[in-house]
Structure 1
Amino acid sequence: MPETNFKTHRAKMRTPEAATYCGSTESTFNKLRLTGGGPIYITIGRTVVYDPDDLDTWLASNRRKSTSVAA
């Protein structure tokens, strides 16, 4: 029998929910989309949504041990 790798489906989040999930604000997420410094997002028509897996990846990439370490 072939091995299958099913990914657990997690509902996509709109900007307010994604910002709360990351401990941020909707305003910050809107600005990050403009500057390109935020997490990967998806547009469906005019609606912006975030995949929780992408949010987790973005959060992990922003971990720091010290303020003196360059980002």
Structure 2
Amino acid sequence: MVSVLQLQVEDPEHTFLTPQELAEQLGLCVSRLSAWRQHGGGPAFVKLGRSVIYKVADIERWLEASTRSSTAEAPLPRGRRVQ
């Protein structure tokens, strides 16, 4: 399966990315992901002690929910998580 992130993964429900890996895939700074974790608006994440990881399936759901066909469409409410 080829995901939205152009990653070849067999099982997106059990494949995880670090914040650094996700930032690189999305072309963002790691600090943007950190801000989203603190204030909402980003993909769901897993916190294990001091470590943070992102499930590929959650990232794909978040990207799909964030897709717009024009700037006139309303964005997701701030802080809303895609389930």
**Residue 48, structure 1, aligned to residue 38, structure 2:** no
Give the TM-score normalised by the residue count of structure 2. 0.69
**Aligned-pair identity (%):** 31
Consecutive aligned runs of 4 or more in structure 1 exceeding 6 Å deviation: none
Cα-to-partner distance string for 1:4-43 (whole Å, 9 max, x where unaligned): xxx8265311101112223322111010001111100001
Q: Which runs of 5+ in 2 are unaligned?
A: 1-9, 76-83
Supply the AA of the counterpart residue of 1:15: P
Supply the distance in 1 between the matched residues of 2:29 and 2:57 (Cα, whole angstroms): 19
* Aligned residue pair count: 65
Q: Aligned-pair distance for 1:44?
A: 1.0
Root-mean-square deviation (Å):
1.7
Q: Which runs of 5+ in 1 are unaligned?
A: 1-6
Secondary structure of the equivalent of 1:54?
Answer: helix
Secondary structure of the equivalent of 2:34?
Answer: helix
Correspondence list, 1:1-71, <5 A:
8=11, 10-71=14-75
